[in-house]
């Protein structure tokens, strides 16, 4: 499917959402909901366009990985250091017992 048709499909869906939802919000004078609707529609439209153009974009998991990667490295590095430290002492005690 060509990119032009993808954009046309996205535009049709966005226009239908605006046609069906916005008049209700205007009639109810729900200004906060109109702002939220507009922001979410704009964000969704942007993500759809990125997907249609096959552009890689970060996922929420990427942000979580960036945050927790240093914590994970610290935990595993510390556990390896402790286990190496304990195994070193254990082997020393075994050698000490056999030398008496």
d(CA 64, CA 62): 5
d(CA 38, CA 48): 15
Stronger pLDDT, 75 or 98, i.e. the higher one:
75
User: Is residue 87's pLDDT more than 70?
Assistant: no
User: Is residue 75's pLDDT more than 90?
Assistant: no
Give residue 79's pLDDT: 53
Mean pLDDT along residues 80-97: 48
Query: pTM above the 0.75 mark?
Result: no
d(CA 54, CA 65): 23
pLDDT over 90 percentage in the chain? 43
Model confidence at 3, in pLDDT bands (50, 70, 90)? confident
CB atoms under 10 Å from CB of 22, counted, come to 14
Give me the helix-helix angle, 3-27 and 31-52, nearest 10°.
170
Residues in the chain: 100
């Amino acid at each position: 499917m060509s990119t032009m048709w993808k954009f046309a499909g996205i535009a049709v869906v966005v226009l239908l959402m605006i046609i069906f939802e916005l008049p209700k919000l205007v009639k109810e004078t729900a200004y906060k909901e109109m702002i939220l609707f507009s922001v979410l529609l704009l964000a969704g439209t942007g993500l759809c366009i990125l997907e249609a153009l096959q552009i890689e974009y970060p996922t929420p998991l990427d942000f979580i990985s960036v945050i927790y990667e240093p914590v994970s490295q610290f935990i595993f590095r510390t556990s390896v250091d402790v286990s190496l430290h304990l195994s070193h002492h254990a082997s020393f005690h075994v050698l000490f017992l056999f030398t008496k």
